[in-house]
């Protein structure tokens, strides 16, 4: 049971490039989340999903897109990368909604946009 896995661990992008951050969970969780964490700051929700085919915006969705074609996978797409997207990105999952169920986090993807 690997839990939540993320790839890549680290990536450098040039301004204007695009990339997809991968997230996979093997716990059969319905709920999945993408957060970003800027240096020395807290967690900000980008997008979340309550099941395959269902996604919704969080607090800071601009510049990102998501899809959820399977229960296991929840990729995050960055289009036209900007320096403001330099951050650590965490994917998380839980078996129900936020009330009473632990969110399990992946190890994170560190992204640097130059």
Q: Which spans of this chain sit near other proteins (rule: CB under 8 A)?
A: 31, 33, 41-43, 45, 48, 50, 56, 58, 90, 97-100, 102-103, 105-108
Q: How far is the CB of 19 from other proteins (least distance, A)?
A: 21
Q: How far is the CB of 18 from other proteins (least distance, A)?
A: 25
Dihedral sign (CA 61, 11, 18, 23): negative
Smaller CB distance to other proteins: residue 75 or 107?
107
CA 4 – CA 21 distance, rounded (Å):
13
Smaller CB distance to other proteins: residue 35 or 85?
35
| Pairing, β 31-37 against β 43-51 | antiparallel
Smaller CB distance to other proteins: residue 17 or 88?
88
Dihedral sign (CA 102, 106, 110, 111): negative
Q: How far is the CB of 98 from other proteins (least distance, A)?
A: 4
Residue 94, both tokens = 């839980």
Q: Are 22 and 73 in contact (CB under 8 A)?
A: yes
Smaller CB distance to other proteins: residue 32 or 81?
32
Q: How far is the CB of 14 from other proteins (least distance, A)?
A: 25
Q: Are 76 and 66 in contact (CB under 8 A)?
A: yes
């Amino acid at each position: 049971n690997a839990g939540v896995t993320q790839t890549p661990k680290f990536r450098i992008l040039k301004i204007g490039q695009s990339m997809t951050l991968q997230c996979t969970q093997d716990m059969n969780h319905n709920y999945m989340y993408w957060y970003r964490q800027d240096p020395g700051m807290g967690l900000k929700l980008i997008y979340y999903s309550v099941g395959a085919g269902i996604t919704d915006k969080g607090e800071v969705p601009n510049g990102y897109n998501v899809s959820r074609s399977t229960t296991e996978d929840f990729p995050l797409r960055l289009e036209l990368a900007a320096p403001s997207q330099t951050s650590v990105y965490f994917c998380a999952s839980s078996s129900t909604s936020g009330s009473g169920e632990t969110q399990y986090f992946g190890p994170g993807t560190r992204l640097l946009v130059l």
